[in-house]
Amino acid sequence: MPDDVLRVVGALHDEFRQAAFPRRLVVDDVAGVEMVTLASGVDGCVSAWLEHEGHIDDRRWNHLAECEQRLIRVMPALKGAEATYYQRLLDMTALILEIDA
């Protein structure tokens, strides 16, 4: 796996971790998706992928693929900082699934 993908995902993950979670989404679901759970699920999988230098087990890969579909479903309903926050998650997810396919 190219080192640049690790660097890009690592940088996105750092930005994600430093960003404030959108307040409204603590209590509001979007398109039937619980947004806190979605963010924490992706974060856990990305963290594991980074810790294992670009590798995750099948269970996490499958979970990440499910999260990608949820992210695709909710993105049109998000605006501003909410969209930016979740776009980072989608970008990380897409990069990992593409490289690990």
pLDDT of residue 68 exceeding 80, the answer is yes
Q: Which residue has the tokens 């995750």?
A: 56
pLDDT tens, position by position, 1-51 = 578 999 999 999 999 999 999 999 999 999 999 999 999 999 999 999 999
Question: What distance in Å separates the CA atoms of residue 49 and residue 17, rounded to the nearest whole number?
Answer: 15
Sorted by where each begins, the domain ranges of the chain are 3-99
Predicted pLDDT at 72: 98
| Mean pLDDT across 59-83 | 97
What's the pLDDT score for residue 3?
A: 82
Which two three-digit tokens encode residue 35? 């947004």
Distance separating alpha carbons of residues 32 and 4, to the nearest angstrom: 35
Cα(7)–Cα(42) distance, integer angstroms:
17
| pLDDT bracket for residue 64 (50, 70, 90) | very high
Residue located via tokens 């989608």: 90
pLDDT tens digits, one per residue of 48-63: 999 999 999 999 999 9
- Whole-number pLDDT of residue 101: 67
CA 69 to CA 2: how far, in whole Å?
25
- The C-alpha atoms of residue 9 and residue 91 are separated, in whole angstroms, by 8
Residues 85, 22: Cα–Cα separation, whole Å: 8
* Kind and range of the H or E run holding 96: helix 80-99
